[in-house]
Amino acid sequence: MAGPNVPSDTTKKDVALGVISLQSLINGDPSTEAMLLKACTDLGFFYLDCVDGCSGRIMEEVQAMYSLATNFYDLPQGAKSEWLVDRDHDEHLVMG
């Protein structure tokens, strides 16, 4: 059953998130780079598979990026609204 804001005809296929291999990105795999670009530009979200490539350093960097994101989204709306918005792409896309 769909949630209150999800059309009833929405399927798993409609909302499926892509899985991007961190190790493949580190290795410079062109097809994985293309998948990442597609995931970022089409839906804006993806799963990052860290199973094969996560050393302690990489996990620290992932945690640091997560902390940056959560710190940003924890800001009051007024502070977030000060960031440049790309109105040609999406009025809700924040760039900075």
pLDDT of 9 over the 70 cut: no
Return the domain boundaries, the chain: 1-52
Q: What is the dihedral of CA 59, 39, 26, 66, to 10 degrees?
A: -20
pTM for the whole structure: 0.46
Q: Are strands 46-49 and 84-85 parallel, antiparallel or unpaired?
A: unpaired
What are the pLDDT digits (tens) for 20-70?
A: 998 899 899 999 999 999 998 888 888 888 777 666 777 788 889 999 999
Copy the structure tokens of residue 16.
């499926």
Q: Which residues pair with 19 in a beta bridge?
A: 47
